[in-house]
Amino acid sequence: MAKKNENILNLADSFAEFRENRNIDAATLVGVIEESFRNILAKLYGTDENFDVIINPKNGDCEIHRTRIVVEDGNVQDPNKEMPLSEARTIADDYEVGEEVSESFDFLQFGRRAILTLRQTLASKILELEHDSLYNKYKDMVGQIVSGEVYQVWKNEMLLLDDDNNELLLPKSEQIPGDFFHKGEPVRAVVLRVENQNNNPKIYLSRTSPDFLRRLLEEEVPEIADGLFTVKDIARIPGERAKIAVESYDDRIDPVGACVGVHGRRIHGIVHELHNENIDVINYTSNTELYIERALSPAQVSKVFLNETTRKAEVYLKPKEVSLAIGKSGLNIKLASMLTGYTIDVFRESEDDEVEDDIYLDEFNDEIEQWVIDTIKKAGWETAREVLSASREVLLHKTDLEEGTIDNVLKVLKAEFDQD
């Protein structure tokens, strides 16, 4: 008997634990507990209609009362719903046939197996509630910054715990190159997505998403929160470089200066968070040609020709500006394309004193193999000067020829004009 009472005590302790440590409101928890008791009662007695289950939401105390009708001795057909008169008068000697008797129902009547089933059912339902609560909490937070503490680091992902000890996952692919965290360290990231397969929610975070940079800016720049200007576009190569386009709603506000801050103080904190990711901020414009020019900064663009159908842009620059437009490892032109949504091809402008005579590529077939010439022509260049006006990087990208082959072509073509 003592062991059964101990089981009941443990059950009450479980209620208290879930009430205090889980993010479930009291009313919902009481409803789950009552439903679990009623399921057991219905299973044991065929119905729970004549039972009252009372749960104290403050201390978790549970009471069950059963109501039965008094009948003549020997006429009891359903012991769950009917009570013989002699038994009723042991409770009160003035009970008569037809009256209702409500009495406290002892937990012990459930039996050990039923009590264990009740505990398992409660644990399962409360876990389900906990999962629902977690999913509902994070499903509307996609794109928002959250903080977590590193709990465990694996090869392909990192496990974080939020303030409520909920598990958050930060995949390796969503970590910035250079990210290295120890157990117990705080980490900030944006909620990338929330999955809920089989009511088992998984919250995935990202530090490489453009939204992470966007939210960091919103935290650092109060003018954005105040609605004075907005972040229109972001392009990132995480840990390397990023470009941000901002647009002001107030002509008196310089959005670029506001983002950078005095002596770069505002942008510096973001750069530090992103492991020294170089951040360029430009003014957004709906003028596509001008937007592309700004996106290619610090290079000075001479002219831009657009093909709206193919969303391609041919950009012409002075020879000394070409390397600036392309950037180290091609990062500048790649980010400009990502930011504007246009494929950008860079061309060198002819110098004023340059000889304008040109030669068709086919005339070089004695020095350059014909299949190489055909490949270059297929990529869009017909003459020697057209090839020489394109950057080496663009030639490599558009023809997919070997570096040595391209270098030989440029050498042969350049030699022809140097000789002239």
Q: What DSSP string describes 27-55?
A: HHHHHHHHHHHHHHHHHHHS--TTEEEEE
**Mean predicted confidence (pLDDT) in 5-26:** 54
**Domain annotation covers residue 354:** no
CATH code of the domain covering residue 192: 2.40.50.140
**Mean predicted confidence (pLDDT) in 175-200:** 92
Q: Is residue 257's pLDDT more than 60?
A: yes
**Domain annotation covers residue 160:** yes
Confidence of residue 354 (pLDDT cuts 50, 70, 90): very low
**Mean predicted confidence (pLDDT) in 5-34:** 60
211/190 Cα distance (integer angstroms):
7
pLDDT in tens, 152-164: 999 999 999 998 8
pLDDT in tens, 207-230: 999 999 999 999 999 999 888 899
Same domain assignment for residues 322 and 377: no
Structurally, the chain folds into a number of domains equal to: 4
Give the end of a domain, one of 136, 155, 170: 136
CA nearest to 186, candidates 167, 161, 209, 166? 161
Give the end of a domain, one of 348, 374, 400: 348
pLDDT in tens, 178-189: 899 999 999 999
CATH code of the domain covering residue 367: 1.10.150
Percentage of residues in the chain having pLDDT higher than 70:
90
Confidence of residue 288 (pLDDT cuts 50, 70, 90): very high
Same domain assignment for residues 86 and 108: yes
Confidence of residue 99 (pLDDT cuts 50, 70, 90): very high
CA nearest to 283, candidates 317, 311, 257? 257
Q: Is residue 260's pLDDT more than 60?
A: yes
**Domain annotation covers residue 244:** yes
Round the average pLDDT of the chain to a whole number and report it.
86
| pLDDT confidence of residue 215 | 95
pTM beyond 0.85: no
> Domain range holding 181?
145-207
391/382 Cα distance (integer angstroms):
15
Question: Are 216 and 270 contacting, i.e. CB atoms less than 8 angstroms apart?
Answer: yes
| pLDDT confidence of residue 60 | 64
**Domain annotation covers residue 274:** yes
Q: Is residue 172's pLDDT more than 60?
A: yes
335/163 Cα distance (integer angstroms):
36
